[in-house]
Structure 1
Amino acid sequence: MKKLPKVTKKELLDQIGEFGKRDLVKKALDLSSKAHAKQKRENGASYLHQHIYYVTSLLFSAYKKDKEIEKLLVLALLHDTVEDTDVKLSQIQKIFGENIAETVSLLSKESSKQDDTLSDAEKYMETQNYLEKLSGNREAVIVKLFDRLANVRCINEEAVERKPKKYLRYFKETKNLYIPLAKKYDLKKLVKELEDEVDRIQDLLGEILITHRD
């Protein structure tokens, strides 16, 4: 069984070093830590440890020398706050300014909280439209690609057995939508990492993939 990733708050702070002392990063870490505190993944893991901190850790490892790294850290920490918690976009704007708020808005799927009512085909189309909407914003694209990388790295045999259709959709989205977006921005390392995960998930899906060719 694949060991699933986990990054604690302390591990993240140790990793990002001085950036963790920057005012906006501190505020983003505090807000996201409180907003997601009680959330769990489907597998029972802490949403903060297995997703928010993990996404931020992956992004920092790849972009720590980027001139916009502070902004990217803030966005990685906040990317699910409006979509998945009671935090309002107006709060983000008040604390972090209009630019951060606009990018968080781009990263937030409007229908996320009603996602269970959509068919898999509708969810795929929603993702396609969503990625098209944010595709012109470099920082939003980077955060979203690491969000997807973190999510697919958490797919294991148990997850596929529990919800095969969901992870078949994840496979198709990653292969047909996310990898082309990474190629558009010439993010070669990220393309390779996503392609490796697509190959791994393809093996997990096995017969399911054969019977759902389209």
Structure 2
Amino acid sequence: MTNPKYKKKLDDLLLISQKNLAHVDESLIRRAFEFGFNAHRHDMRASGELFFDHPYEVAKIVAKEIPLDDVSVAAALLHDVAEDTEYQIDDIRAEFGDTVADIVDGATKISDIFKSHEVTQAESYRKMLLSMVNDIRVMLIKFADRLHNMRTLEYLSPDKQKRLAKETLDIYAPFAHRFGLASIKWELEDLSFKYLYRDSYDAIARELKSRRRERETYIGKFSAPIEKRLREADFKFEISGRPKHFFSIYNKMLKRNKPLEEIYDLFAVRIILDTEDNNDCFAVYGIVSDIYIPNPERFKNYISVPKKNGYQSIHTTVVGPEGKMVEVQIRTRAMH
């Protein structure tokens, strides 16, 4: 790679891969990077950037935010080659072998389906996609592909923005949830919400921004007695607070038929325990319930009965200071 800008991008991708993946075949990633760069050298995105910036960003998501393996990083770098350039799957197979080629081929076929059909029955599409996929890495790369496309949606026309946002909300976000990719699901939902219901999105964004300092102060006040008790009990833990995701807040407003200022459980606190004993989560739940009054109807034991996607955690909602409802999630580092 002689282009200085893209040589740095390649070096960055290799560093991210080495940090997050169990095994890294640097030669494979280098070859895939150069092959993809050359294949897309004349292609541009709507943003005016070189098209290869997209597969590069998808590969970064695959290496860091999901993360998968070095084969998936290579396939992500090549995932649009057969669809958008003169090269065919056979060319990829000859250069990179069957596994990489089959993943790229699977991703290409999924793209073809969405190009040739209007999505009307979301569940039918999800079932059809699952039946097509022999390697789970195909779908995970498609999640990364859609996530980056949604992050850069502002460069498309309003009609395309709404079509892709609806498709994402109906197909990709629920699918990501099934695969246990909670953070990706939340971001896909919020980005879709932004383009489908812009006025509501902006109103929630303004409200949360205006109350950010108040929220951070409140979460600190809420967490302090919990932290004290956990330290006294010799737990090793990490505790953090965040506002609920925009789309989640919007759904609460609709479900309860209330304006934003009357929605109080906007906070979520997460307690992650450094322990190998799952029973410690229940001990911590006992401590939290001793400090704050829990709502028994909002208790969820996903440790004893995990979600279908394998997700494990204890969820509870308690009455915090000033009578505000706060959701608390308790899990081990391994569950996280």
- Identify the TM-score tier after normalising by the shorter chain: 0.7 to 0.9
Pair 1:169-2:163 in alignment: yes
Aligned mates of 2:144, 2:42 — CA distance in 1: 23
Give the conservation status (yes or no) of the 8 Å contact 1:9–1:53. no
Give the conservation status (yes or no) of the 8 Å contact 1:25–1:73. yes
AA aligned to 1:61 is: K
1:205 Cα offset (Å): 8.4
Residue by residue over 1:94-127, the C-alpha shift from the partner in whole angstroms, topping out at 9 and shown as x without a partner, is: 1111122111111114885xx5xx6xxx3436x9
User: Greater CA deviation, 163-172 or 30-39?
Assistant: 163-172
Task: State the partner residue of 1:151.
Answer: 149
Please, which of 170, 181, 188 is the counterpart of residue 175 of structure 2?
181
Pair 1:53-2:47 in alignment: no
Aligned mates of 2:44, 2:58 — CA distance in 1: 15
Residue by residue over 1:24-75, the C-alpha shift from the partner in whole angstroms, topping out at 9 and shown as x without a partner, is: 11111111000011111123221112x11111122222245x4xx1011111
Q: 1:111 to 1:72 in 2, by over 3 A?
A: closer
Please, which of 21, 38, 51 is the counterpart of residue 42 of structure 2?
38
Q: For the pair shown, which has the larger CA radius of gyration, 1 or 2?
A: 2
Pair 1:70-2:65 in alignment: no
Pair 1:24-2:33 in alignment: no
Task: State the partner residue of 1:131.
Answer: 129
1:202 Cα offset (Å): 2.2
Task: State the partner residue of 2:9.
Answer: 11
1:21 Cα offset (Å): 6.5
Please, which of 190, 194, 198 is the counterpart of residue 196 of structure 1?
190
Q: 1:204 to 1:187 in 2, by over 3 A?
A: same
Aligned mates of 1:94, 1:137 — CA distance in 2: 20
Aligned mates of 1:134, 1:57 — CA distance in 2: 25
Give the conservation status (yes or no) of the 8 Å contact 2:166–2:196. no
1:134 Cα offset (Å): 4.4
Give the conservation status (yes or no) of the 8 Å contact 2:169–2:192. yes
Aligned mates of 1:111, 1:22 — CA distance in 2: 28
More strand by share: 2
- SS of equivalent residue, structure 1 residue 47: coil
Aligned mates of 2:44, 2:65 — CA distance in 1: 26
Q: 1:110 to 1:178 in 2, by over 3 A?
A: closer
How many equivalent pairs are there? 185
Give the conservation status (yes or no) of the 8 Å contact 2:106–2:133. no
Aligned mates of 2:13, 2:110 — CA distance in 1: 32
Q: 1:203 to 1:193 in 2, by over 3 A?
A: same
Aligned mates of 2:83, 2:41 — CA distance in 1: 15
Task: State the partner residue of 2:107.
Answer: 107
User: Structure 1 stretches of 5 or more lacking a match?
Assistant: 1-6, 207-214
Work out which structure has the larger RCO, using CA pairs closer than 8 Å and 6 or more positions apart in sequence.
Answer: 1
Question: Normalized against structure 2, the TM-score is what?
Answer: 0.49
More helix by share: 1
Aligned mates of 2:8, 2:129 — CA distance in 1: 32
Question: Normalized against structure 1, the TM-score is what?
Answer: 0.74
User: Structure 2 stretches of 5 or more lacking a match?
Assistant: 19-23, 201-336
